[in-house]
Amino acid sequence: MIRERVLKILLVIFGLLFLAGIYPLLVMQLAPADQMLGSVYITLGVFLLLAARNPAAYSSLIAFTAWSSLAHGGLMAVQAFRDLIPRIDLLRAVLPFLVIGIALIVLAPKKQAAAAGDWRSQVVRERRQGA
């Protein structure tokens, strides 16, 4: 119960953080690639906020967010160590992405095993969780 509550809180926090990316998108002159990436993260933020209501129903989205955050942070770390991007990005961007990824992997909802072909009981279980 505590685990699910913490996950819901983190989904709201991460969703709002990603959604806050709309500010630089509207106010600053960004490179086209940064604008495209920003729009993806803003959209992801909206769906993380939706997932906070019933995380078990959005387990694939949570897994995608976790693993893509780790991949993004890992790639940026390599770029920083190769001096392709400023080293300060290790703290500004890499660390937050790694924290997001690890937190979501640790707190991800457990998979529920449903009997093969028993989709009705799975729907009932998901509705009970959402209520």
Spatial distance between the Cα atoms of 59 and 21, rounded to a whole number of angstroms: 23
Q: Which pLDDT score, from 0 to 100, does residue 118 have?
A: 62
| Phi, psi torsion values for 8, nearest 5 degrees | -60, -40
Separation of alpha carbons 39 and 29, rounded Å: 14
* DSSP class of 58: G
- CA pair distance 50, 52, nearest whole angstrom: 5
pLDDT attached to residue 131: 59
User: Which DSSP state fits 91?
Assistant: I
**Can you give the pTM of this predicted structure?**
0.79
pLDDT tops 70 at residue 3: yes
Token pair for 125:
């279980």
Instruction: Give ∠ CA 131-42-30 in degrees, rounded to 5.
Output: 175
Integer Cα distance of 131 and 126 in angstroms = 9
- Residues 77-130 have pLDDT tens digits of 999 999 999 999 889 889 999 999 999 999 998 876 544 456 666 777 777 777
The per-residue pLDDT for range 10-49, each reduced to its tens digit, is 999 999 999 998 988 888 888 888 889 889 999 999 999 9
Cα–Cα distance between 4 and 16 in angstroms, integer?
18
pLDDT score for 27: 86
Structure tokens at 130: 């959402």
N- to C-terminal Cα separation, the chain:
14
Q: What is the percentage of the chain residues whose pLDDT exceeds 90?
A: 64
